[in-house]
Structure 1
């Protein structure tokens, strides 16, 4: 598989409001989407940073800290490589991503390159 860069970063935290405020007010990231317990911020290169509150449904497997997404050109092919290597896949795959657990126990993601 060919990793071409970092493609995404997400954090599930009990301090979601505070982290979202930090990203917006201190780091100066542009808020592009917000709903109850979920914030999306745009980086200048077009990639996203997302914040999930502890109670936000669907990201319960984000249990090890920030989740880095590795950008690849072909997510299905890269997922097939993970599967062949016996890597634990997590959650339901999205149209452009798949989460997995690394050998260190942390959660990571493959994401389609922008």
Structure 2
């Protein structure tokens, strides 16, 4: 598997408004997309930070163990999923699509923490 980097970090928080204000005001990252209790911040590199407040709709497995989840950017998600499967990694749920060629797959690392693979054809 060839991982190009970490392209996404998701954070589940009970302090949504404070976290949103921190990342826009202090860190200076613009909000690329927002809905109630959820915001996507996009860095100039194309990497994303998503903040999930208590009322946000997020996949239940995503934050079941940890409140911070990182994604590993890959070119070929199907091949990467197969490599995880062959290595005995626990895949969580099914490969999902955000549309426009964006796919993700959650998995459990050997220590039980949840990560995800992501294929994002629009990431620079």
Q: What TM-score results when the alignment is normalised by the length of structure 2?
A: 0.83
Deviations 1:14-35 (A, max 9, x none): 1222212111111100101110
After TM superposition, give the deviation of residue 91 of structure 1 in Å. 3.3
1:100 to 94, 107, 116: 107
Which structure 1 residue ranges, 5 or more long, are not aligned?
Answer: none
Q: Are 1:26 and 2:26 matched, yes or no?
A: yes
Q: Distance in 2 between matches of 1:88 and 1:81?
A: 11
Q: Distance in 2 between matches of 1:85 and 1:9?
A: 24
Q: Are 1:79 and 2:81 matched, yes or no?
A: yes
After TM superposition, give the deviation of residue 44 of structure 1 in Å. 1.0
Which structure 2 residue ranges, 5 or more long, are not aligned?
Answer: 98-102
State how many pairs are aligned. 114
Q: Distance in 2 between matches of 1:16 and 1:105?
A: 26
**Pair 1:32–1:112, CA change in 2 (3 A):** same
Q: Which moved more, 1:54-63 or 1:72-81?
A: 54-63
The residue number in structure 2 matching 1:88 is 90
The residue number in structure 1 matching 2:40 is 40
Q: What TM-score results when the alignment is normalised by the length of structure 1?
A: 0.90
User: RMSD value over aligned CA atoms?
Assistant: 1.5
After TM superposition, give the deviation of residue 86 of structure 1 in Å. 1.9
Q: Distance in 2 between matches of 1:89 and 1:58?
A: 17
Q: Distance in 2 between matches of 1:16 and 1:25?
A: 14
After TM superposition, give the deviation of residue 85 of structure 1 in Å. 1.7
Q: Distance in 2 between matches of 1:56 and 1:92?
A: 21
